[in-house]
Structures are given as C-alpha cells and as structure tokens.
Structure 1
Amino acid sequence: MNPLVSIIIPTYLRSSSLIQTLESIINQSYVNWECIIIDDGSDEYTINKILDFISNEPRMKFFKRPFNSKKGPSTCRNEGIKKANGKYLQFFDDDDVMYPNLLEDKVNIMEEKKIDVLVSPLDFFSIEERQITHNNNVVSNNIIESYVLGEISWYVSGPLWLKSFVTEYFDESVQTLDDWDFNLRNIYHNPNVGFLDKSLQKYNIFGVGDTLGTLAQLGDERQLKSVFYVYKKHFLLLKKMKILNSKMYLRFYILLVPVLRESLIHKHKISKEICRFLMLNIKKDVFPKVIKVFIGYFTYRFFNKGYNLVKF
C-alpha cells in the first residue's frame, strides 16, 4: 500500500526557485503525493509562471492565502494542513531541493515502524560558496532538552509527520523561528520518533538579510519581537510542565541576551520588555553570569555606552 503524502509549500515572489523545487518533487521515485502550494501574495506575473508550470501536473494544486488572513509562511502552512488529504505531511520550502528518494525512503520506514514522525538531516548548500558546507544533527535520546540546547535541529522540512498526530499548528503571529516553535510544541506531545542518518534534501543557505531569520541579526524590529515571543513562550511552557532544568534555563538566557543587545542598540522599545522578563525570572546560580548584562543594559540606556557588556 502506498499512502498519500501531502507536500505543503508556502511561496512568495520566488517562481524560479519554486519551479526547481517542484521539479525535484516531480522526479520523486514515490508517486503517490499531492503538492499544495500556498501563495502569500505574489504579483500576477509570478503567479502565472507557477500556474503555467503546474498546468499539466494534476497532483500539484495552487491556492492563494485568504485575503483576510495574516500574511506569512505560518498562515500558508496552516492553510496547507487544512487542505491536505494525505496520511503524511511533508512541509517544504520554496527554494530547497528533494533528492529523488526522499518520499520513498521516509514513507517506507513510517509504514514499517508505525511512528508519528521521521526526521532526516539536511545538506546545507551555501549559495555564496556554491557547495555543501555541513549537515545538522537530528538524533537525541532526550529530544526536548537537546532541541532547546541546540544540540539537534529539525528545521521545517526535516520531519515527515503523521497527519493524525499533528494537533499543534503553526503560530501565525510568529515571523522568525516558526518551525522551531512548531516542532517543539508537537514534540511536547511525546511522539514516537524515528531518525534517518542520511540527508534526503538540499537546504539552501542565503546571506545575512536575505531571509526572515537573518533579518533579526540586522536588528529588524519585527523579527526581534518574534524571536523574543517564541523563546519567552517556550520558557514559560517548559516551566509550567516542570521540565525546565538548569541547562535549559541557562540556554534561554544565552539565546535572549543577543536579542536584548540588538534591540538595545537599535533603540527598540521591546528591549525594556526583554530586560524585565530576564530580571523577573532570574535564579541565584545564573545571577553572577548575567549581572554585567544588566549593568550594560542600564548604562547604555541612560549614558549611551556600555553595550559591550550585554553579552555572555
């Protein structure tokens, strides 16, 4: 039996790269799939190029994000989930490439082992260097802790999910770390996880400022707010579940201090909220490591110097 796989791809003004992605899907050795493309508001020229390419492929379906819904890939992916008919969900980006056996290898293992999610690493391809630079680690015996500590990373396209297991949808208020947030919230439901040790796709890496995630590195206020929102959300969720151990606790400080620093340097109002959150949740064993952070924060706020202290 070959169950249907629903491939969900959000896209925006990227017809050329999307077409390369779609070609890699058409070339899959596994044929029982549907590809649900959700456009996030592209111009007519881009849309027509996509429609022209998929016109002879009935397994590919094109939809526009509902005009009254929030713009962003999270909304598009949620629309894709609602429209998906498959037993399995494979999220994918509109600029990455599937290797020909991606779906076949994943489905075979999912069917054999009856698991909720199967995760494979990615080949990271540097656009600037024109070569594969590294792979990510996806395997752990303590998934929640390893995920928070950054010891593993799944990204959005690493997992193949059993659709019936996915009860947590993408948070449509999140711009950056949307996949980090989505994966972790579903992991909290204790899925039966399988791992592959080989990469089944090429994941393109762009320069700083070319993606939503890297815009945060440049001090973009919306992206910094999104990063803070996600880390704060999971800090509080883990604390509520009583599984926020000392290593994860310190990790959140290590993650949030650079966000505080960028917000402070660019004089974003969110810096006050981040500082207040860190101060309210501080523990004695962490205090000696972060006291200079707070000194630097207030020195820079009132005297416009000292921001070099706002770091670990």
Structure 2
Amino acid sequence: MEENNPKVSIVVPVYNREGLVGETLDSILGQTFPNWECIIVDDHSDDSTFEVINEYQSKDSRFKIFKRPADRPKGANSCRNYGFEQSTGAYVNWFDSDDIMLPEKLEIQLSSLTKSEYAFSVCQTLVFEEEKENIIGLRKESIHSEDFFNDFVTNKIMWLTQAPLIERSFIDQYEFRFDETLAKGQERDFFINLLSVVNGYHHTDQPLVLFRKHPNSISNKPSTPQKLYSSFLVNFNIIKRHSSRLNKESIRYLKRVLLSKLYQLNRMDERSLVGDILNQIKSIKVYNPLELLVIKLKLLYFANRNSSK
C-alpha cells in the first residue's frame, strides 16, 4: 500500500508567526493528496505561535508538533534538520511558515516524480504581497536549464526551500542536511550540494507555491557580519568542493561574490573576518598574484580612508 500511496513529510520550522502560520497550515490541509504528515518544529516562539499550531494538531493528527531541542543551535536550519529526523515519509517537502502551498502541489509533483527516474521535483513559485490575490510575478523566470548546475551557481535559475519534493532515500544516501552553522545562504548551500550529485531532476513550470513578500521576512532583514561571512562561506565552498563541475563563467561569478563579501566586511571594520577571508581566498588558488595584490591594496586604501575620518 505504501508503494502505491507513499507518505509525504512536510517539515515546517516556525518562529513568532502567530499571524501567518495559520494560512500556511490551511494550505497544507487543502492538499488534494491526503497521505501527508506535517512536522512543525517551533524554535521557542515567544508569541502565541505555539498555541496556534497546537490547535491544528488537536483538529488533525497528521500535524505533529515538536520544539527545537535545547542542545541544537537556534534557527531554521536546526529546526529543518530536527524535523526531518522526526519524519517518516518516503518523500520530503521542507516548507516555510509564511508561504502557501497551492492545492495540487503534492499530487502533481509526486505523480510526476514516481513516474520518473529522478530523485526530486521542483515547481515554479509565484510571489505575492500582503494578500495572496495580489500576485507580483514569478520568483524566478527559470528553474531548469541544460547546464543546471552552473546556471544555479550563477543565479540564472533558482528556487527556494518550498519548491522541491525530494525522495527520502536520496537524502539519506548522501546524508544531506542544512548547515546549522550558517546564518545566511543555507538554501543555496543545500541545493548546490543536491545538484552536484545528479544528472537531472524533474521540474514543472506550473506555479504550485505562493511566496509571501512582507516586511518581517528573514530576507528583508539587514545584513550583519555573521550573515555576510556565512554568504562568503557558502560561495567559497562551492569552489572548494565542486571545482570540477564549474565552468569559467561560474568561477568569475563566484570570485566577484567573494570579493563583494570581503569588501562589505572591510567597510564594517570586521578585521578578524577580513583576515580569515583573505587566508581562505589564497588557499583556493583561483586568484592570480596580481589580483591578490590589487585586493590587498584596496583593503589598505579603505582602511586608511576609514582611519582618517
């Protein structure tokens, strides 16, 4: 029976979403595919979020609520990983607590995936603002290409956590997890790692997710040194781990990104992080001696200019 009607685990991390999470959970309740469980991991909210999600668990046993264990780092990455560990489905769909699943998401992607040779399926995403009827447009025009790995690296194609439905056996085979040390870029890191081991994936250009644009979303919060450094590490690790799959355009793109993070941290006078980044940049040997000299001269120039203010 399980082979013909596999269970899907929807894993939702949540923190202080008392006014939004209900609409997300309603959209999960509205799925045309019924064999799902929804693992909700509360990151110790200090508003009424826990009471809201507890009402859903009381009404439908497919909702299962957990709190992030105290020995796990705070943040969505830990909640996603812990939620996955508590899940039992043959397929997994991580989802965010402020977005919306359109009714046929699970049914369409699961039907296509089970008939294919692929390990995961990606759908299109529409962006809305305030009310779901206020559609702004697609989150990204393209979610697939012939050279999908390099095009994802250079952001020519892109999707977020909500879009993929993934085989659990595939996740387990490669021990994929969200990096709990990252403050930013965790989705990019996770999906780059997935794409690095596959020859293809199923995709549908039908929008099956609504992405909510609102002032309190994590993506709208200002950059901090920790976020900039995390973003550096994600892109640095792409070169370090996947250099054999990168084309010249991707290398140039990543070099620009690394320098952007370096210069932003330098303007914040984060000298320890700047020094660490410089050492790591030297280690991957993608910058020639002249480029390294120019980088050091620019850092020296900005340091002198800042000290004279």
Q: CA deviation at 1:60?
A: 0.5
Q: CA deviation at 1:15?
A: 2.3
Residue 271 (1) aligns with residue 274 (2): yes
Alignment of 1:95-134 (within 5 A): 95-127=98-130, 130-134=134-138
Tell me which residue corresponds to 2:85. Answer: 82
Q: Any idea what SS the aligned residue of 1:204 has?
A: strand
Residue 57 (1) aligns with residue 55 (2): no
* Contact 1:117 1:191 survives alignment (8 Å): no
* Contact 1:117 1:192 survives alignment (8 Å): no
Q: CA deviation at 1:177?
A: 1.0
Report the RMSD for the aligned CA atoms in angstroms. 2.4
Alignment of 1:230-241 (within 5 A): 230-239=234-243
Distance (Å, rounded) in 1 between the aligned partners of 2:99 and 2:151: 25
Distance (Å, rounded) in 2 between the aligned partners of 1:245 and 1:145: 7
Say if 1:293 and 1:133 are closer, same or farther in 2 by CA, change over 3 A. Answer: farther
Tell me which residue corresponds to 1:5. Answer: 8
Q: Any idea what SS the aligned residue of 1:196 has?
A: strand
Distance (Å, rounded) in 1 between the aligned partners of 2:248 and 2:290: 13
Distance (Å, rounded) in 1 between the aligned partners of 2:28 and 2:37: 10
Q: CA deviation at 1:170?
A: 1.1
Which residue among 94, 97, 112 is the counterpart of 2:97? 94
* Contact 2:40 2:83 survives alignment (8 Å): yes
Q: Any idea what SS the aligned residue of 1:16 has?
A: coil
Q: CA deviation at 1:59?
A: 0.5
Alignment of 1:1-312 (within 5 A): 1-43=4-46, 45-127=48-130, 130-136=134-140, 137-166=142-171, 167-190=175-198, 192-207=200-215, 210-215=216-221, 218-239=222-243, 242-268=244-270, 269-279=272-282, 281-284=285-288, 293-304=295-306
Q: CA deviation at 1:296?
A: 2.7
Say if 1:18 and 1:110 are closer, same or farther in 2 by CA, change over 3 A. Answer: same
Q: Any idea what SS the aligned residue of 1:184 has?
A: helix
Give the aligned residue type for 1:169: R
Cα distance per residue 1:42-63 (max 9 Å; x no partner) = 1373212221233111100000
Q: Any idea what SS the aligned residue of 1:304 has?
A: helix
Q: TM-score, with normalisation over the residues of structure 2?
A: 0.88
Tell me which residue corresponds to 1:310. Answer: none
Give the aligned residue type for 1:103: L
Give the aligned residue type for 1:47: F
Cα distance per residue 1:159-208 (max 9 Å; x no partner) = 1001100131111111211111111112222164111011101011234x
Equivalent residue pairs, number: 298
Distance (Å, rounded) in 2 between the aligned partners of 1:127 and 1:259: 31
Q: TM-score, with normalisation over the residues of structure 1?
A: 0.88
* Contact 2:121 2:166 survives alignment (8 Å): yes
Q: Give the share of equivalent positions with the same residue, in percent.
A: 26
Moved more, 140-149 or 30-39: 140-149
Distance (Å, rounded) in 2 between the aligned partners of 1:62 and 1:142: 40
Distance (Å, rounded) in 1 between the aligned partners of 2:165 and 2:68: 23
Distance (Å, rounded) in 2 between the aligned partners of 1:283 and 1:82: 40
Give the aligned residue type for 2:205: D
Q: Any idea what SS the aligned residue of 2:12 has?
A: strand
Give the aligned residue type for 1:196: T
Say if 1:148 and 1:12 are closer, same or farther in 2 by CA, change over 3 A. Answer: same
Gaps of 5+ in 1: 307-312
Q: CA deviation at 1:257?
A: 2.3
Q: Any idea what SS the aligned residue of 1:95 has?
A: coil
Distance (Å, rounded) in 1 between the aligned partners of 2:296 and 2:128: 38
Gaps of 5+ in 2: none
Q: CA deviation at 1:157?
A: 1.2
